[in-house]
Amino acid sequence: RIDMEDYLHCQISLDMYKELRKEFDNVGIVIQAYLYRTEQDMNDLHQYQANLRLVKGAYKESPEVSFPEKKDVDENYKKIIKMHLLNGHYTAVASHDEEMIQYTKRLVRENGISHDQFEFQMLYGICVELQDRLVKEGYKVRVYVPYGIDWFGYFMRRLAERPANVWFVLKNFAK
């Protein structure tokens, strides 16, 4: 999957995805729930039967382009999870938020969606007990491991962009 960075790189990333899909069918992309444009982006990607990794979004963006309130991001995240799963496309729900995971499980159960159509994704070392529980319940869980030269930079950007992320990580390390 092509990762998604800040708003300024969103359209460039989507254009790259569309260009690659002309030749390859095994390419996916990340979509961020906190951007106002997300629902329209997903409508545009529908024709590609896109394999999407759905995230809330980690960057602090202008209220001109993103939902400033967490509750609005959460509602949009639920909306896009439902939208993509009901469209029948492969969906990666990338979240450690148990409310979002429970929402997805309910949605899947109520709509008879196969466990082969989606997976949960979480960062290595965060919410390990939850990962284990989901696997025991028969769900696919992919553990995301940042790597490469700038893995630490990636991790620090995720923490720095949202102060709540620091508390979330510290709380999970304590577990």
Catalytic machinery residues: 3, 53
Cα torsion 44, 48, 49, 53: sign:
negative
Q: Tokens 């450690």 label which residue?
A: 96
The DSSP code sequence of 74-98 is HHHHHHHHHHHHHTT--EEEE---H
- By three-state DSSP, how is residue 67 classified? coil
Contact 94, 1 (CB under 8 A): no
- The total of other beta-carbon atoms located within 10 Å of residue 101's CB is 19
Provide the CB-side half-sphere exposure for 159 (13 A, CA).
11
